[in-house]
Amino acid sequence: MKNILFKIFKRRINYKSSVEVRVFKDAVLHNLHSYQKKYPNVQFAPVIKSNAYGHGLEIVGKILDSEDLPFLMVDSFFEAVSLRQSGVKTKILILGYVTEEQIFQTKLQNLSFAIIDLEQLKNVCQQLKSPTRFHLKVDTGMHRQGILLSQVDRAIAIIKSNKNFILEGVCSHFADADGENSEFTLEQIKKWEEVVKIFKQNFPNIQYLHLGNTAGSFYSNKITANVCRLGIGLYGVNASPFVDLGLKPALEMVSLISSIKNIPAGDKVGYGITFESSKGMIVATVPVGYNEGVDRRLSNKGFYKVGAVFCPIVGRVSMNISSIDVTEVPNVKFEDEVVVISANKGDKNSVENIAKMCSCIPYEVFVRMPQNLRRVVV
């Protein structure tokens, strides 16, 4: 009874969050449809692992649930459970490692598992008691997950030993599809083609073959495959150096000004007193820091946007607070909106420009936004 009352009370608490992640539904769908239109020879399976690259697992899952998709892709059993509990009904493939207990005891419907190691395959086939769908991952050169090419014949024999093992798909993964030199990628494709030929001879009813990722979609006409896994491209970041699809960023993070003060020339700001004002200036605080996913390397380097003005971050980014120079913002005031991460690719604080400033990749900027931040679909 207490739990029921708590849930009812919890639903009644309405408040405006001081930090909000806005997810643009139209941008997500635009990006998906752009790939589908550009590469009509393959189906696209959206990758929504790691909280949908920071955009919100359940949010993005629901946005995509009415689309015509082969399956949604997650990394863990936990993510699959979360999607089903949120009401998402689209078929799911768990591409990451799952325990034997999760495979044998799951009651989730319309779910497939990836097998990423020969030892895992042997253990599953020795114990599997009911029909279950699997995708076998083959290592074509990345040397991270997947059975080796030398293990293919052995793997086929093991699969055939248990009629409950339904080989629904075979997959692999590009190591350098976003590189400007395509030599290694073409070598992987060559190995993939050999693997596909063998598996189609032994399992003519295989439903899915997938090697390509977002950047690898460029090579789709060179690959015997009917599915491409769409990850970073779904969220508006172009991963290929060879093609531009006019993708739209699907996320922005906003906050507000929580305090304003005037400081004279020569005063210091923040931990470690790493910033000293060269002139009188107006400094504002924003209630976001590295706990909210703001990279500490943006200290004295990055920008937030207030109105049309890019305001430099001054001093070190703290756990829950950043300070910015708002001297150039006209009529700046308490609780003005602050764009922490912009959905405009050209802005100084876009995901891609933040990644460049931090010498990292956009993926890292996305996934550092904690799941507890409020996310809203707009």
pLDDT tens-digit map of 175-218 = 999 999 999 999 999 999 999 999 999 999 999 999 999 999 99
pLDDT beyond 80 at 6: no
pLDDT tens figures, 328-371? 999 999 999 999 999 999 999 999 999 999 999 999 999 999 99
**294 or 15, greater pLDDT:** 294
Q: How far apart are CA 288 and CA 18, in angstroms?
A: 9
Predicted confidence at residue 16, as pLDDT, reads: 81
Q: How far apart are CA 28 and CA 250, in angstroms?
A: 6
Q: How far apart are the first and last CA of the chain?
A: 35
Predicted confidence at residue 10, as pLDDT, reads: 55
Q: Which long-range contacts (CB under 8 A, 24 or more apart) does 121-130 make?
A: 121/147, 121/155, 121/158, 121/159, 122/158, 124/100, 124/165, 125/158, 125/159, 125/161, 125/162, 125/165, 126/162, 127/100, 128/103, 128/104, 128/162, 128/164, 128/165, 129/104, 129/164, 130/164
Predicted confidence at residue 14, as pLDDT, reads: 78
Confidence of residue 7 (pLDDT cuts 50, 70, 90): low
pLDDT beyond 60 at 69: yes
Q: How far apart are CA 260 and CA 286, in angstroms?
A: 10
One-letter identity of residue 7 = K
pLDDT beyond 60 at 376: yes
Strands of the sheet containing 20-23, edge to edge, are 309-312, 303-306, 337-341, 251-256, 20-23, 374-377
Predicted confidence at residue 5, as pLDDT, reads: 53
Confidence of residue 241 (pLDDT cuts 50, 70, 90): confident
Cβ pair 329, 307 in contact under 8 A: yes
pLDDT tens figures, 9-58? 556 677 789 999 999 999 999 999 999 999 999 999 999 999 999 999 99
Quick one: average pLDDT of 244-252?
Answer: 96
Predicted confidence at residue 2, as pLDDT, reads: 55
pLDDT beyond 60 at 323: yes
Backbone phi, then psi, for 329, in 5-degree steps? -85, 120
Predicted confidence at residue 59, as pLDDT, reads: 98
Quick one: average pLDDT of 272-290?
Answer: 97
Q: How far apart are CA 154 and CA 48, in angstroms?
A: 32
Q: State the burial class of residue 289 (Cβ atoms within 10 Å of its Cβ: 0-12, 13-18, 19+).
A: middle
Q: How far apart are CA 38 and CA 52, in angstroms?
A: 23
One-letter identity of residue 314 = V
Cα separations (Å) of 119 from 100, 115, 158, 165, 198?
A: 12, 9, 10, 15, 21
Predicted confidence at residue 240, as pLDDT, reads: 87
Quick one: average pLDDT of 263-279?
Answer: 97
**Architecture, CATH, for domain 25-235:** Alpha-Beta Barrel (3.20)
At the fourth CATH level, the homologous superfamily of domain 251-377 is Lyase, Ornithine Decarboxylase; Chain A, domain 1 (2.40.37.10)
Predicted confidence at residue 257, as pLDDT, reads: 98
Quick one: average pLDDT of 290-316?
Answer: 98
Predicted confidence at residue 4, as pLDDT, reads: 57
Q: State the burial class of residue 131 (Cβ atoms within 10 Å of its Cβ: 0-12, 13-18, 19+).
A: exposed
Predicted confidence at residue 9, as pLDDT, reads: 53
* CA-angle at 47, arms to 45 and 52, nearest 5°: 145
Q: What is the DSSP string of 300-364?
A: TT-EEEETTEEEEB-S---SS-EEEE-TTSTT--TT-EEEEEBS-TTSTTBHHHHHHHTTS-HHH
Q: Give the residue extent of every domain in the chain.
A: 25-235, 251-377
Helix axes 118-127, 152-160, angle to 10 degrees: 10
| Report field, pTM of the whole predicted structure over 0.85 | yes
Q: How far apart are CA 310 and CA 290, in angstroms?
A: 20
